[in-house]
Amino acid sequence: MTTPFSLLYATEESSAHPPPTETVELETISEEALIDTETHGPQVGVLTLRNILHHPDAHPITLDILYLRQYGPEWMLWEGETLQHLAPSDFHQTLSYTNLAKLQAVRTLHLVDTFWKQWEIFGWCTLALNGVPPDFQTMQAPLVSQAAIAVDIANRIRPDEVPWSEEIRHYLAAVFRHDSVYCPQPPLDFVTLDVEGTPLDTPEISKRWPSVRASGHAPTGETVTDEQLRRMLLVDQHLEESRTHLRDQLHMVHHGH
């Protein structure tokens, strides 16, 4: 797979490929990989409007708003090199490759529906929206938490309820099984998993989940239910962290500091 990110928005009518089955060995992105991969540079410190374009914690929607405010929707038609070239003069800072990838993914969500239809596009965009520039030559499997964050972002950018294809539903089911998470929660509750024959007590998990989520405290038991609740809580915490970043950054952008 060598499709460059700049061409993702042009693949609306391309032929779909079947998603990988459970037997395909995938390269999984660890939670540690959620940080900016450009670690050779100096530490960027606390995120501000003065460093947001190269800060690893910049939220994709915040970057989208900044570029829409500066250039209007025309920015979505420009090459990535143009976006990086204009940043020093118009924003007085550089645009990192990681944040360029976030903008490229946001552009894809704005312009076409392939994120909701094709597993390759979903995977590439999901990684980019989580601050992990995708490798177009290596099959990379996102984590459930990364998929939840990407879908949450997509729902905010495109609240028009684009239908999810069966291809994406099957792909995400494989992602859940890969992470051994078997009880999808919003915004991934459109995914269906076959748990017949497993030791999962889904009614018990559903009964305990609201209190576990509200308390933020992971169960300490050793049962299958306890382990599922721990994994579900970890996914939920990463999702809430992303939402908190967005709320804080939107407040900062609104007040100009």
Query: Is residue 246 assigned to a domain?
Result: yes
* Phi-psi group of 58: left, alpha or beta (phi > 0 → left; psi -120 to 50 → alpha; rest → beta): beta
- The owner of tokens 């939402």 is 243
Question: Residue 106 burial (CB < 10 Å; 0-12/13-18/19+)?
Answer: buried
Query: Is residue 25 assigned to a domain?
Result: no
Query: Is residue 59 assigned to a domain?
Result: yes
**Beta-bridge mates of residue 28:** 141
**How large is the average pLDDT for residues 182-188?**
96
Query: Is residue 15 assigned to a domain?
Result: no
Query: Is residue 187 assigned to a domain?
Result: yes
Query: Is residue 23 assigned to a domain?
Result: no
Amino acid symbol at 224: V
Query: Is residue 147 assigned to a domain?
Result: yes
For residue 193, give the 3-state DSSP assignment.
coil
**How large is the average pLDDT for residues 183-200?**
94
Start-to-end C-alpha separation, the chain:
41
pTM: 0.85
Weakest-pLDDT range from 44-53, 130-139, 148-157, 169-178: 130-139
Query: Is residue 21 assigned to a domain?
Result: no
* Helix-then-strand count for the chain, H and E: 8, 2
- pLDDT (tens digit per residue) in 145-180: 999 999 999 999 998 889 999 999 999 999 999 999
Closest-CA residue to 239 (of 153, 111, 180) = 153
Band the pLDDT of 43: cuts 50, 70, 90. Answer: low
Domains identified in the chain, total number: 1
Pair 107, 129: CB distance under 8 Å: no
Residue 208 predicted with pLDDT over 60: yes
**How large is the average pLDDT for residues 8-27?**
42
Question: Residue 254 burial (CB < 10 Å; 0-12/13-18/19+)?
Answer: exposed
Separation CA 49–CA 111 (nearest Å) = 27
Pair 198, 225: CB distance under 8 Å: no
- What's residue 161's pLDDT? 81
Range of the domain at 218: 31-255
Pair 144, 179: CB distance under 8 Å: yes
Separation CA 210–CA 186 (nearest Å) = 12
Residue 182 predicted with pLDDT over 90: yes
